[in-house]
Amino acid sequence: MFTGIIAEQGTVIDIKSSPGVDSGELVLSAPVSSEGLEPGGSIAVNGVCLTATDNHDGQLHLDVMGETLHRTTTGQLQPGDRVNLERCVPAGGRLDGHVVQGHVDGVGSLVWRQPHTQWELLRFAVPQALARYIAEKGSIAVDGVSLTVTAVSGAAAEEAWFDVGLIPTTLDETRLGSLPPGSPVNLEVDVLAKYTERLLAFGGRSGQ
């Protein structure tokens, strides 16, 4: 489990895939986040939970399954790209953001950003299928960053969107600070909303 509090921006060294093989390997420079991360350990890369296969000299090697390459922005990464990194929260650790699983629900895109004094307002387009899970003052993870939603599109809107406000710390310490309009981002909605919908779909049946 993660909390959406980014510890470091890593740098993509390489992303490898073989013809006919529906998987790959992501190699990152991550001097802070790699410390003490054993093979088999988990780390969130732009909000995607990945498993480390090797770790030496501040370089992480991570397995990437085909599902991840197809359904997140991971497959679009290029050498030199900066990525948000978070290690999983230890038992008893502080939950400073919100419950983030590292299971991306869909890909959105930055529509525009509006600078203000000491902060910025950003609007993201979101797939219609995810819009019902996003609520004003609720939580959402954007490229692994825990954010509070400040406004949402109406239920009948043809194009779904949501707004978030970024404080200086988020602008300085995550890749969202330099993201240009049009950029794709990984989105993970609040897991409680998804489970609530699933329970309601069964109409209170116990399953017995």
Q: Is the pLDDT reported for residue 18 higher than 70? A: no
- How much is the average pLDDT of 145-151? 97
Query: What average pLDDT does the chain have?
Result: 92
Report residue 207's pLDDT band, with 50, 70 and 90 as the boundaries: low
Vertex 101: Cα angle to 204 and 67 (nearest 5): 100
Q: What percent of the chain has pLDDT over 90?
A: 77
Q: Is the pLDDT reported for residue 8 higher than 70? A: yes
Tokens of 144: 């692994």
pLDDT of residue 127: 96
What domains can be seen in the chain, in order of their start residue? Answer: 8-87 (2.40.30.20), 106-198 (2.40.30.20)
Q: Is 4 exposed, middle or buried (0-12, 13-18, 19+ CB in 10 A)?
A: buried
Report residue 101's pLDDT band, with 50, 70 and 90 as the boundaries: very high
pTM: 0.92
What Å distances lie between residue 107 and 13, 167, 191, CA to CA?
23, 23, 16
pLDDT of residue 109: 98
- How much is the average pLDDT of 99-113? 96
Q: Is the pLDDT reported for residue 208 higher than 60? A: no
Report residue 14's pLDDT band, with 50, 70 and 90 as the boundaries: very high
pLDDT of residue 173: 96
Q: Is the pLDDT reported for residue 13 higher than 70? A: yes
Residues 6+ apart with CB under 8 A from 152: 131, 134, 135, 136, 161, 162, 163
Q: Is the pLDDT reported for residue 17 higher than 80? A: no
Report residue 68's pLDDT band, with 50, 70 and 90 as the boundaries: very high
